[in-house]
Amino acid sequence: MSAERRGLLIILSSPSGAGKSTLAKRLMQWDETLSFSVSATTRAQRPGEQNGIDYHFTAEDDFKSMVSNGEMLEHALVFGNYYGSPARPVRKAIEAGEDVLFDVDWQGAQQIANSALRDHVLSVFILPPSITELRRRLETRGQDSAEVIEKRMRQSWDEISHWDGYDYVLVNDDLDTSFERLKTIVSAERLHRRQQPGLLDVVRGLQAEFEEIET
Ligand code: ADP
Ligand code: 5GP
Q: Which atom of ligand 2 is nearest to the CA of 40?
A: 19
User: Rounded to the nearest whole angstrom, what is the distance from the C-alpha of residue 105 to the centroid of ligand 2?
Assistant: 5
- Ligand 2: residue whose CA is nearest its atom 17: 104
Mean of pLDDT values over 158-173: 97
Mean of pLDDT values over 120-144: 94
**pLDDT score for 3:** 41
Cβ of 156 closer than 6 Å to ligand 2, yes or no, is no
Q: Which ligand has its closest atom nearest to the C-alpha of 107?
A: 2
**pLDDT score for 84:** 98
Tell me the residue ranges of DSSP E strands in 18-117. Answer: 35-36, 39-41, 55-57, 72-78, 81-86, 100-103
Q: Are strands 39-41 and 81-86 parallel, antiparallel or unpaired?
A: antiparallel
- pLDDT for residue 134 is more than 70: yes
- DSSP symbol at 51: B
Architecture of 9-37+98-214 per CATH?
3-Layer(aba) Sandwich (3.40)
- Ligand 1: residue whose CA is nearest its atom 5: 19
Give the pLDDT band of residue 19 (cuts 50, 70, 90).
very high
Render pLDDT for 178-207 as a digit per residue (tens, 0 to 9).
999 999 999 999 999 989 989 999 999 999
Mean of pLDDT values over 35-54: 94
